Amino acid sequence: MDLLKNRKKIILMGLLIAILALAGCNDAAGGEEEGALVVYSARNENFVDDLLNKFEEDTGIQVQALHGGETIVNRVKEEANNVQADVFISNDIGALEHLRIDGLLEPIERDDFGGIEEQYRGEDNSWIALSARTRVLMYNKDLITEEEMPKNIWDLTDPQYQDEFAITRGGNGGMIGHVSALRNEWGDEQTMEWIEGVKDNAGAILQGHGDIRRAVGAGEFKFGLVNNYYYHQQLREPSNNNVDVIYPDQGEGEMGAVLNAAGVGRIKDGPNDESVNAFMDWILEPENQQMFSNESLEVPINPELEVVEGAVPISEYKVQGMSLRELGNVWEYTRRLIEESGLDLEIR
């Protein structure tokens, strides 16, 4: 009998050691703390960290953030059968809607969306747009006048502007959204003609919009195609800030400036339901919506909130008519179109 008891004790001890060892392996691999909020972000790390630090301070909920830029969408897809994250913070509504269409987001269950109108939410409320940016032409006033500047996007193909401006590579989220809107407006044939013309005409194809704004501010190029908040960032620089901006395609019969937005989506089957609910409640509070926009100098989607100094509210200029929801339907195809053009592969 004592032998049997000792054998049971040995077996139990072995099981306990195995469980402890497994737990240790999980900790070493970076396993998530239960109840934490796991955030995947494609936005600028500095903007997002300040926001998430405030969330931690306000709620006491620990945040584990992964900043992955444009790779995050593919990561969410790859983890579909082993979901690791709760929230996706995106720089591009097209990416959010693309994930929703693929069944990788789930509804945010609430009745009040903090002043965010239906057109700026996923049709199942699985994502919410919080701040808008508009595609503009920022120019150096020491090198070119407003009268000399192109007034519409098609003019970027005009030989008179050869080598005078910079654009981002095609895989940039802002460029994907812009090309999607052009496809909606012009069709694929004319859009491909524009891509080829702009690629040949540009003085540089740079990695990001920050590179463009600094180059324009320093006088390396007369102007550049950027999201409007980069103009406001350049104005705040201690030097190289003699810049201004053109909102393109504002004339009669023209399509209007291209709009995109940043927002948040709820990842389907994320591991921390209570923390996600707390985050969605928190982010929709007016002061946190304001912070989401103001940190990057974007314009709040909520019309009740103030815009940053010098920015223009969406209601005060003509906007191209493509619904943000439609971006997701064409997001993947637009990426392939850009890749085929070579614009996504070439940085010069």
Q: What pLDDT, in 10s, does the model give residues 53-103?
A: 999 999 999 999 999 877 899 999 999 999 999 999 998 888 899 899 999
Are 244 and 288 members of one domain? no
pLDDT over threshold 90, residue 21:
no
Task: Let me know if residue 81 belongs to a domain.
Answer: yes
pLDDT over threshold 50, residue 32:
no
Q: CB of 216 within 8 A of CB of 222?
A: yes
pLDDT over threshold 60, residue 30:
no
Are 90 and 156 members of one domain? no
pLDDT at 345: 54
Task: Let me know if residue 347 belongs to a domain.
Answer: no
Are 60 and 170 members of one domain? no
pLDDT over threshold 60, residue 252:
yes
Are 308 and 159 members of one domain? no
The pLDDT tens digits of the residues spanning 167-217 come to 998 877 778 889 988 998 999 999 999 999 999 999 999 988 999 999 999
Are 69 and 218 members of one domain? no
The pLDDT tens digits of the residues spanning 209-246 come to 999 999 999 999 999 999 999 999 999 999 999 999 99
CB within 8 A of 251, min separation 6: which ones? 151, 152
Domain range enclosing 200: 133-259+330-341
Q: CB of 223 within 8 A of CB of 144?
A: yes
Are 215 and 336 members of one domain? yes
Are 114 and 161 members of one domain? no
Mean pLDDT of 278-298: 93
Are 214 and 274 members of one domain? no
Percent of the chain with pLDDT over 90: 64
Are 288 and 336 members of one domain? no
Task: Let me know if residue 14 belongs to a domain.
Answer: no
Q: Is 148 left (phi over 0), alpha (psi -120 to 50) or beta?
A: alpha
The pLDDT tens digits of the residues spanning 121-151 come to 999 999 999 999 899 999 999 999 999 999 9
pLDDT at 194: 94
Which residue did the predictor score with more confidence, 29 or 312?
A: 312
Mean pLDDT of 2-25: 40
> Can you give the CATH number for the domain in which 84 is found?
3.40.190.10
Domain count along the chain: 2
Q: CB of 281 within 8 A of CB of 273?
A: no
